[in-house]
Structure 1
Amino acid sequence: MNARVLNLLKSVTSLELKQKKSHHFQEDLPAKAINNSLSRQKNTRVLNNFFFRNRDIYISKHNRFADYPLHTHTFLEMNYMLHGSATEIVDDKTLILHAGDLLLLDVGSKHAIKALSEDDILINILFREQTISVNFLSDLRRNNSVLYDFLLSHTVSNKSAKVDYLLFQKKTGSEIKETIEHIIDEYFLKKDFSNSIIKSYLSILLTQLVREYPLVNNEHASKQQKLITEILKKVSTEYKSITLNQLAQQYNYSENYLSNLFKQGVGKTFSDILTQERLIQAHNLISSTTMPITIIMEQVGISNKTFFYKKYKQFYHSTPGKDRKSVES
């Protein structure tokens, strides 16, 4: 890890000094980052997508010396124990994180963190499902990974079967530590193109977790599972023109049957997944090129401007124009 970044993370901030003196939590977020209406409804503070205004992934060091109150969030979160240890309470379960452990928290999971000492460095990595492409999810599904069900679980109505967190404990000789340190270095050194590089590292990290940790089971994928994986792959490469009707003809199923099969296996409709992939591809072009928005829409297969802007705002909680300006600035 870069020595300058490590020293930055170890240094005691002004807010941490206040917590060290009082041993009480000091508010570390602006009012805009907290959804007050949802907080009242859920009786706990709800952190919103404020963190992703001009970036896809947000990273911070957890403040030490005071208990962090119970909270939840509208995004996915990783807690990585860089040094020392931490005690977290997740959905009323007590978890102990040691150096090298990684905790993946789903949208809506409630958790609190006990006070960290000066030697404890806990890193928060925040990201949304919008960061994860359909192509990547299809790879997870093909490998029958626990991560596939986890990353899509909050879209399924069966809440009782939902797992709100996954704990990955450190393994000797693991590549995960090196990948996470690359992510942290890129974020805090603020180099050119760091957002794109961090997104790539995140996909690498999740893939390494698939490789190094247990699968759901060792049984061979069913015929239906293989079919859904094939469809997800096709969406990832043919998103501009692919249709459910074409797929139904190709696989010799009725369109209605294939639609229901896909929804049952993925947790989202084919139309939702296709739109999601098109928006991700559009966002990538908006954030990495100067191509006009109308041309980008054409490139990803969306012709209706009103539909595009509406879905983009719902998906990214921003507009194409704002995202383009944030990149240019």
Structure 2
Amino acid sequence: MNTRILNFLKQPTLIEEKQKASHRFVEDMPPYAINQELSQKEHGRVLSNYFFRNKDIYISRHNRYADYPTHTHTFLEMNYMLQGSATEIVDGKQITLNTGDLLLLDNGSTHSIKALGEDDLLINILFRTKNISISLLNDLRRSNNIFYDFLLSQVINKQNKNRDYLIFTKRRNQEVQATLDRIIEEYYSNNDFSNSIIKSYLSILLVQLVREYPVSGPHQENKTKLLTIKILKVIAQEYKTISLNELAQRYSYNKNYLSNVFKSEVGQTFSEVLTRQRLIQAHTLITSTSLPIATIMDQVGIKNKTFFYRKYKQYYQKLPSADR
């Protein structure tokens, strides 16, 4: 770890000074970072996507000297113990992290963190499902690894996931820790193109975790999962023109069978996922170009204006003109 960055991370913040004096939690986020409606339903803090306003991956050092209350979130979170130790309660189970350990928390998992001491440095790395590429999973599909299954469940949005977190203890091989250090250094250095470099490092980290933490026993590939990955990859690349009919012909399956398999694995219909992909692409063009809305609709493969505006409002909670 770069000495300058490490010394910076050790410096106390104003919030930490208050917590050290009172040993009580001090709010460290603005009100709009917490989904108040969901928080009331979940009986705990629900952190929103506000962290990703200007970046794909958000990193912070956890505040010390006070217990952090129970909370959940709508994204994936890694807790990396850079130095010292920490005790967390994840879905009712107590977990201790020591230097070099990494905890990966699922979207929706609930956890709290006991007060950290002066020498404890816990780094939070937050990222969303879109940062896990279908191509990466396709490359990893033959790995004998529960981490692969965990990542796969994120991308295909399985409703019956049974893993809320994974723990990776420090190994003699320092590759994982070195990559984590590079991610942290790049984030706090704030150099040009840092966001792109950090995204690349994250992909490297995911591959290293799959390689360094294998699971014993035979790996049995699920054909429907692999077929679903293929379809999701095609949607990501050919969203403008692809159809279920064309996919059925391409992979030599009955259209209804393919539709049922996809719905079973993903939890949404092919049409719903395709529309979502088109809306994501439209949103990118709307917020980053001055192209007319009609041109953008054409470029993403949506022809019905009423349908486009209605679905866009449902997905982004605002009309396209408000995102301009």
TM range (shorter): 0.7 to 0.9
3-state DSSP of counterpart to 2:79: strand
Question: How far apart are the structure 2 equivalents of 1:213 and 1:5?
Answer: 28
Q: Cα distance 1:306–1:174, how it changes in 2: closer, same or farther (>3 A)?
A: farther
Task: Give the aligned partner of residue 9 of structure 1.
Answer: 9
Question: How far apart are the structure 1 equivalents of 2:101 and 2:190?
Answer: 25
Task: Give the aligned partner of residue 130 of structure 2.
Answer: 130
Letter in 2 for 1:92: G
Question: How far apart are the structure 2 equivalents of 1:43 and 1:110?
Answer: 10
Task: Give the aligned partner of residue 61 of structure 1.
Answer: 61
3-state DSSP of counterpart to 2:263: helix
**Structure 1 residues 54-63 or 149-158, which shifts more?**
149-158
The 5 A counterparts of 1:126-275 are 126-143=126-143, 145-151=145-151, 153=153, 155-158=157-160, 161-215=161-215, 218-275=218-275
Alpha-carbon deviations, 1:212-265, whole Å to 9, x = none? 222595334254444334334433443332221111122332211111112223
Is the contact made by 1:130 and 1:315 (CA closer than 8 Å) also made in structure 2? Answer: no
3-state DSSP of counterpart to 1:246: helix
Question: How far apart are the structure 2 equivalents of 1:124 and 1:137?
Answer: 24
Is the contact made by 2:134 and 2:229 (CA closer than 8 Å) also made in structure 1? Answer: no
Task: Give the aligned partner of residue 113 of structure 1.
Answer: 113
Letter in 1 for 2:83: H
Task: Give the aligned partner of residue 25 of structure 1.
Answer: 25
Task: Give the aligned partner of residue 42 of structure 1.
Answer: 42
Question: How far apart are the structure 1 equivalents of 2:132 and 2:317?
Answer: 16
Question: How far apart are the structure 2 equivalents of 1:225 and 1:89?
Answer: 32
Is the contact made by 1:104 and 1:166 (CA closer than 8 Å) also made in structure 2? Answer: yes
The two structures have a TM-score, normalised by structure 2, of 0.85
- Which ranges of structure 1 fall in alignment gaps of 5 or more residues? 325-329
Q: Are residues 1:292 and 2:294 paired?
A: no
Question: How far apart are the structure 1 equivalents of 2:323 and 2:198?
Answer: 17
Alpha-carbon deviations, 1:93-146, whole Å to 9, x = none? 011111111111112211111111111110111112133333334344454643
Alpha-carbon deviations, 1:51-82, whole Å to 9, x = none? 12222221110001111111111221111111
Is the contact made by 1:138 and 1:229 (CA closer than 8 Å) also made in structure 2? Answer: yes
Is the contact made by 2:248 and 2:254 (CA closer than 8 Å) also made in structure 1? Answer: yes
Question: How far apart are the structure 2 equivalents of 1:32 and 1:108?
Answer: 18
Question: How far apart are the structure 1 equivalents of 2:25 and 2:259?
Answer: 49
Question: How far apart are the structure 2 equivalents of 1:304 and 1:296?
Answer: 12
Q: Cα distance 1:118–1:141, how it changes in 2: closer, same or farther (>3 A)?
A: same
Is the contact made by 1:49 and 1:75 (CA closer than 8 Å) also made in structure 2? Answer: yes
Q: Cα distance 1:191–1:139, how it changes in 2: closer, same or farther (>3 A)?
A: same
Letter in 2 for 1:47: L
Q: Cα distance 1:317–1:223, how it changes in 2: closer, same or farther (>3 A)?
A: same
Is the contact made by 1:134 and 1:277 (CA closer than 8 Å) also made in structure 2? Answer: no
Letter in 1 for 2:221: A
Question: How far apart are the structure 2 equivalents of 1:144 and 1:240?
Answer: 35
Q: Cα distance 1:214–1:253, how it changes in 2: closer, same or farther (>3 A)?
A: same
Identity of aligned residues (%): 61
What displacement does 1:267 show?
A: 4.0
Is the contact made by 1:59 and 1:123 (CA closer than 8 Å) also made in structure 2? Answer: yes
Is the contact made by 2:132 and 2:151 (CA closer than 8 Å) also made in structure 1? Answer: no
3-state DSSP of counterpart to 1:69: strand
Task: Give the aligned partner of residue 327 of structure 1.
Answer: none
Question: How far apart are the structure 2 equivalents of 1:14 and 1:96?
Answer: 27
The 5 A counterparts of 1:268-283 are 268-278=268-278
Q: Cα distance 1:229–1:53, how it changes in 2: closer, same or farther (>3 A)?
A: closer
Q: Cα distance 1:215–1:7, how it changes in 2: closer, same or farther (>3 A)?
A: same
Letter in 2 for 1:260: N
Question: How far apart are the structure 2 equivalents of 1:202 and 1:310?
Answer: 35
Alpha-carbon deviations, 1:274-296, whole Å to 9, x = none? 44555565667778x75737566
The 5 A counterparts of 1:76-91 are 76-91=76-91
Question: How far apart are the structure 1 equivalents of 2:140 and 2:318?
Answer: 28
- Which ranges of structure 2 fall in alignment gaps of 5 or more residues? none
